[in-house]
């Protein structure tokens, strides 16, 4: 345990990170690889809560030419598909998992109850928070920030398809420069958008550090909880 920097984390996995090379949906090899690393992190004694996105199926906030609230409801349902996929892959490795949804669907998962979620973590169960905040016009980044605050997570581990925060979009600008560290204030002042500004502002106000890294190396999750500096730290 002494080698751990963080003992309770909120791991945010973007939907796209589950799709691997396919670019959409769930890629079985990719989800298995990620869950192998989550398993190893759990074995170290880390209490893990997960928020997963839905962008590999549907992203209402991208403007899809339909009523925004309906589009966002569809996006939240997409996070449930990913949550159940993660639950299954983690349980097949012998880890007890509970999915809690911000919108009730009791036949499928528990409704979100903070005290129950914390109890699950104390009992070394992994808790997956589905449906984001349960409200349209929000993102799962913001849900990750808000849930991290509620469960007193020491850090948010933001696992993305990009290996950190850049001063411009690295997929469009080959000269984009990556930050090792950046304050939330500077992040907001520069108008960066890799993490949405609502989430950044919430983490700033509540002093929650965020470690942003890529899953190109799935060991990054373990490296991050041990305190290795990978990707970008936002503080």
Residue ranges of the binding site for ATP: 12-15, 55, 59, 161, 166, 169
> E strands within the chain?
8-13, 47-52, 97-101, 110-111, 126-130, 155-160, 165-166, 178-179, 181-182, 210-214, 232-234
Site for ligand UDP in 103-132 (CB under 6 A): 132
Stretch that binds ligand UDP, among 14-22, 28-36, 84-92, 219-227 (CB under 6 A): 14-22
Note whether 72 binds ligand UDP by CB under 6 A: yes
Please report how close the Cβ of residue 145 comes to ligand UDP at its closest, in angstroms.
Answer: 11
Note whether 148 binds ligand UDP by CB under 6 A: no
Stretch that binds ligand UDP, among 69-77, 118-126, 182-190, 225-233 (CB under 6 A): 69-77
Residue number, 5 or 136, with CB nearest to ligand UDP = 136
Handedness of CA 92, 17, 166, 135 (dihedral sign): negative
Note whether 75 binds ligand UDP by CB under 6 A: yes
3-state DSSP of 55-83: CCCCCHHHCCCCCHHHHHHHHHHHHHHHH
Give dist(CA 226, CA 6) in Å, integer. 7
Note whether 85 binds ligand UDP by CB under 6 A: no
Are the C-beta atoms of residues 136 and 72 closer than 8 Å to each other?
yes
Q: What angle do CA 203, 206, 159 make, to 5 degrees?
A: 30
Please report how close the Cβ of residue 58 comes to ligand UDP at its closest, in angstroms.
Answer: 6
Site for ligand UDP (CB under 6 A): how many residues? Answer: 24
Distance of CA 223 to the CA centre of its chain: 16
Residue number, 96 or 206, with CB nearest to ligand UDP = 206
Site for ligand UDP in 20-59 (CB under 6 A): 53-55, 59
Give dist(CA 72, CA 63) in Å, integer. 10
Question: Where do contacts with ligand UDP occur on this chain (CB under 6 A)?
Answer: 14-16, 53-55, 59-61, 71-72, 75-76, 78-79, 132-133, 135-136, 138-141, 143
């Amino acid at each position: 345990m002494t080698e751990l920097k963080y003992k309770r984390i909120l791991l945010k996995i973007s939907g796209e990170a589950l799709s691997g090379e396919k670019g959409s949906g769930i890629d079985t090899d990719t989800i298995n690889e990620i869950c192998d690393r989550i398993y190893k992190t759990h074995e170290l004694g880390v209490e893990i809560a997960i928020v997963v996105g839905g962008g590999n199926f549907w992203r209402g906030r991208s403007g899809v030419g339909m009523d925004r609230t309906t589009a966002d409801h569809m996006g939240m349902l997409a996070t449930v598909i990913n949550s159940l996929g993660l639950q299954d892959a983690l349980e097949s490795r012998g880890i007890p998992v509970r999915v809690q949804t911000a919108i009730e669907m009791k036949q499928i998962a528990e409704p979100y109850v903070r005290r129950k979620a914390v109890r699950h973590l104390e009992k070394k169960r992994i808790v997956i928070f589905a449906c984001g905040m349960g409200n349209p016009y929000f993102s799962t980044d913001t849900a990750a920030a808000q849930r991290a605050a509620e469960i007193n997570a020491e850090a948010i581990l933001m696992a993305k398809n990009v290996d950190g925060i850049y001063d411009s979009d690295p997929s469009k600008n080959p000269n984009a420069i990556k930050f090792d560290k950046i304050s939330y204030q500077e992040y907001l002042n520069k108008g960066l958008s890799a993490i949405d500004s609502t989430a950044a502002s919430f983490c700033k106000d509540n002093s929650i550090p965020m470690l942003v890294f890529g899953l190109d190396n799935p060991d990054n999750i373990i490296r991050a909880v041990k305190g290795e500096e990978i990707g970008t730290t936002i503080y």
